[in-house]
Amino acid sequence: METKLTYTTPDLEQVTTLSQKIGCHPVLAALLCDRGIQTPEAAHFFLHPTFQQLKDPFSLKDMDKAVHRIHTAVVNKEKILIFGDFDADGVTATSLLHEFLTHADADVTWYIPHRIKEGYSLNLPHIDLAVQLAVDLIITVDCGVGSIDAVKAALLEDIDVIITDHHEPGDVLPPALAIVNPKRKDCPSGLEYLAGVGVAFYLVMALRKYFRDQGVWQEIDEPSLLGYLDLFAIGTIGDMVPLIDDNRVLCLAGLKQMQAGRRPGLVSLANTCRLDVKQLDSDDISYKLVPRINAAGRIAHARICVSHLTAATLHDAQTTAGLLDELNLKRQQIEKEIVLDIEHRIFRDPSLLDHHLLVLCDGRWNPSVLGIAASRLARKYVCPVVLLSHSDPLAIGSCRSINNINIHQALAENSHLLERFGGHTMAAGLALKKENIDLLRSGIAAHLKTHYIEEDFSKTLTIDARLDIQDITIDLARQIDQLRPFGTANPEPVFVCQNLKVISSHIIGNLHRKMILQNADTPSGYCVEAFHFNCSNTKNPPEYYIKIAFKLKINKFKPAAVQIIIQDF
């Protein structure tokens, strides 16, 4: 499918004014304006964020109830159970809150459910477990907003429940003592972009202040919250929530914490990935660290990750780092086999992609990796993908979407066919009876036809600026680097350059092409190093490009050099 290029169109007068007032490259000024940052003051706050910009944690609905109850539990040595989710967001949230409460000398333990055997979120069997452990207070992180029956059962056992979550709440909320979720309709905080670890961090922010007011830190050293921000960055970037406002402030600080190498679990994981911990960036988190953390929950058990992230020494963390690496390799192989199986089916029967939707079910597929497989297929075929694995009595699986197509809304409209579902605009999990799969396919297809147009299913690439090859300099790359960390709502800029010839080229690892490019009309002119990863044609690659779309990078191995990463041509 041909990629449709769309170009951003910031106001040229605003761009020129901003560039002059803050003394930056016009391209950086254009990128800022396109993000709605049009004044010198706003640009300063974005490029140089500070903790003073953070919102008050007590602005979150029910935060006051939560901290008061947790303080009572800590002081009275009540048994606290932190109940988390099995992805990177959930395990970092669990680790963060457990570390803080342990520092406060609480009687606290944690629990992460098994993805397949127990399923997502707090369920009735977990209340039985809490009773066996003599738990007085359950605090959920990154889950719980849909656990109505489990919370009711906990109340019958005289166990209080505090829910911290960021998933979309239903029309009816659980009868918990407190529900701290910025997506509640009655939450005035404006923090709806937080991940689960973000909500947990804001709970810790509020607890530290409340504990200070109550004199807790008179006998215990008051902890610095900076030490938790590496976990915040991992979970936030890994969950692909918007990297704006408070998320941006705290992720930047979290990256600095990671680069300082103070957490043995992250240092050992970076070493396993052959990354220099001092140069870790958001790309390393997204494509190297998070997949290894998530692999544990998909292939084995996510409790490995909490133990790894909270390890006290590098020696303690080295073994589990190696295990996470092995699990990730196994996950990649399983995912590859599922994707190849589906692509063969599509080749034999292209009608599977009718109605801009792919819904497939197979009992042989490992349900733990279906989300990743669905993401890969959704990108390739530019349509929402629902993949399910069936076993009696239910089929369970994952959905992934593309562009701005809200898959959670599509599921909500068909909730009468589902046993359970939950998630976000672009990703969701679900379970349903096998006999309802065809009905669900038809229901989602009808929703897509009603709410979206043909253009919504086009493969598009947004271009931020046109550059000549001589514009591709280390100075511009360094200025653009100030926009990091890149992610949802703050995407990495993509540029276009035309009329380029290949001066030299060689293939790396049978898949990737490294080149030196030059303007085709200027022999001996300015040259740029370029990489094209996962080339479709390595036998006879192009020697001339009419046009390329690319990202601009600082060479990690030569910090004074610039390179480009080709996205399309």
Predicted local confidence at residue 427, as pLDDT:
87
* Number of domains comprising the chain: 3
The rounded distance, in Å, linking the Cα atoms of 20 and 132 is 66
pLDDT at 208: 98
Q: Which of 202, 222, 242 is the last residue of a domain?
A: 222
Which among 187, 222, 257 is the end of a domain?
A: 222
Length of the chain: 569
Q: What are phi and psi of 549, to 5 degrees?
A: -105, 135
Query: Does 408 share its domain with 489?
Result: no
Indicate the helix (H) or strand (E) that contains 206.
helix 196-213
Residue 338 covered by a domain: no
Alpha helices in 352-459 (DSSP H): 370-381, 407-413, 437-451
Looking at the fold, whether 407 and 555 belong to one and the same domain comes out as: no
Compute how many other C-beta atoms are within 10 angstroms of the C-beta atom of residue 536.
7
Whether 281 is in a domain gets the answer: no
CATH code for the domain of 492: 2.40.50.460
In the prediction, which pLDDT does 228 show? 97
Which 3 state secondary structure label does DSSP give 539?
Answer: coil
Tokens of 270: 């970076």
**78 and 175 fall within a common domain:** yes
Is residue 268 assigned to a domain?
Answer: no
d(CA 202, CA 191): 10
Same domain flag for 206 and 66: yes
Q: CA nearest 200: which of 121, 50, 83, 103? A: 83
Q: Are residues 481 and 511 in the same domain?
A: yes
Q: Are residues 407 and 473 in the same domain?
A: no
Residues 6+ apart with CB under 8 A from 325: 272, 273, 292
The 160-164 sheet, strands edge to edge = 107-111, 79-83, 137-141, 160-164, 178-180
Q: 392 and 486: one domain?
A: no
Give yes or no for a cis peptide into 367 (omega within 30° of 0): no
Structural domain span for residue 359: 349-457
My answer on whether omega of the bond before 393 falls inside 30° of 0, hence cis, is yes
CATH number of the domain at 176, please.
3.90.1640.30
* Token pair in block for residue 314: 């590098």
- Does residue 478 sit in the same domain as residue 427? no
pLDDT at residue 1, as a whole number: 62
Same domain (yes/no): 79, 125: yes
What 3-state DSSP class applies to 147?
A: coil
Torsion angles phi and psi, residue 357, rounded to 5: -155, 140
Residue 19 resides in a domain: no
Residues whose CB falls within 8 Å of the CB of residue 10, separated by 6 or more in sequence, listed in order:
30, 33, 34
> Which stretches of 87-185 are DSSP H helices?
88-103, 124-132, 148-156
Question: For residues 399 and 385, what is the distance between their CA atoms, to the nearest angstrom?
Answer: 6
- End of a domain among 426, 457, 488? 457
92 falls within a domain: yes
Q: What is the pLDDT of residue 503?
A: 93
Question: Is 436 among the domain residues?
Answer: yes
Residue 312 lies in a domain: no
pLDDT, tens digit only, all 569 positions of the chain: 678 888 999 999 999 999 999 999 999 999 999 999 999 999 999 999 999 999 999 999 999 999 999 999 999 999 999 999 999 999 999 999 999 999 999 999 999 999 888 888 999 999 999 999 999 999 999 999 999 999 999 999 999 999 999 998 988 999 999 999 999 999 999 999 999 999 999 999 999 999 999 999 998 999 999 999 999 999 999 998 999 999 999 999 999 999 999 999 999 999 999 999 999 999 999 999 999 999 999 999 999 999 999 999 999 899 999 999 999 999 999 999 999 999 999 999 999 999 999 999 999 999 989 999 999 999 999 999 999 998 778 999 999 999 889 999 999 999 999 998 887 788 888 999 999 999 999 999 999 999 999 989 988 889 999 999 999 999 999 999 999 999 888 999 999 999 999 999 988 888 899 999 999 988 778 999 999 988 877 788 889 999 999 999 998 888 889 999 999 88
Indicate whether 244 belongs to any domain.
no
Q: Are residues 434 and 469 in the same domain?
A: no
Same domain, 183 and 153: yes
Kindly report the CATH number assigned to the domain that includes residue 384.
3.10.310.30
Are 450 and 467 in the same domain? no
Tell me what pLDDT residue 452 has: 94
| Contact (Cβ atoms closer than 8 angstroms) between residue 151 and residue 175 | yes
Query: pLDDT value at position 158?
Result: 96
Q: Please give the biggest Cα pair distance in the chain.
A: 80
